[in-house]
Amino acid sequence: MKLVPCRLTQMLIEERTDSQIIFINEIEGKRRIPIMIGPLEALAIDRAIKKQAFPRPLTHDLIVTVLEETGNTCLAVRITDLREGTFYAELVIQDHAGQEHILDCRPSDAIAMLVRLDNVPLFVSDAVLEASST
């Protein structure tokens, strides 16, 4: 599978409906994919981008803390597939012994993790970019 470096470029939040969209663009190209996400996931991404602090950790903040405290590292976020209108993503985690683990997740959760982590690359499969770019 050919993976293309990408980045989160835009998020549209429609407060009166459940229609939230994130846009991911390839870094060296013009292709861009829209991914519909839920309102809670959009809020989690938005709050992290705005660096809003909370007295207690939110779920994605907790996961980042668990990774860090257990000596694990997120090496990459990948959007790997598009089937029947549903995007599929994965986190690439390296444990304290150096072994890599691939964790299946929703793209919205993967992006919510990505915006909380420093220097973690985002990749989208070339096939997904071809099939869904606007």
* Low-confidence spans in the chain with pLDDT less than 50: none
Q: What local confidence, expressed as pLDDT, does residue 123 receive? A: 98
Compute the CA torsion angle 51, 79, 9, 75 (nearest 10 deg): 50
Domain 3-132 has CATH 3.10.690.10: yes
The model carries a pTM of: 0.91
Burial of 129 (0-12, 13-18, 19+ CB in 10 A): buried
**Which sequence spans correspond to the domains of the chain?**
3-132
pLDDT score of 33: 96
List b or e across 99-128, with b for residues whose CB sees 16 or more CB atoms inside 10 angstroms: eeeeeebbbbbbbbbbbbbeebbbbbbeeb
Q: What per-residue confidence (pLDDT) applies to 16? A: 73
Per-residue confidence (pLDDT) for residue 12, from 0 to 100: 86
Q: What is the pLDDT of residue 57?
A: 87
Structure tokens at 44: 């989690």
pLDDT of residue 54: 82
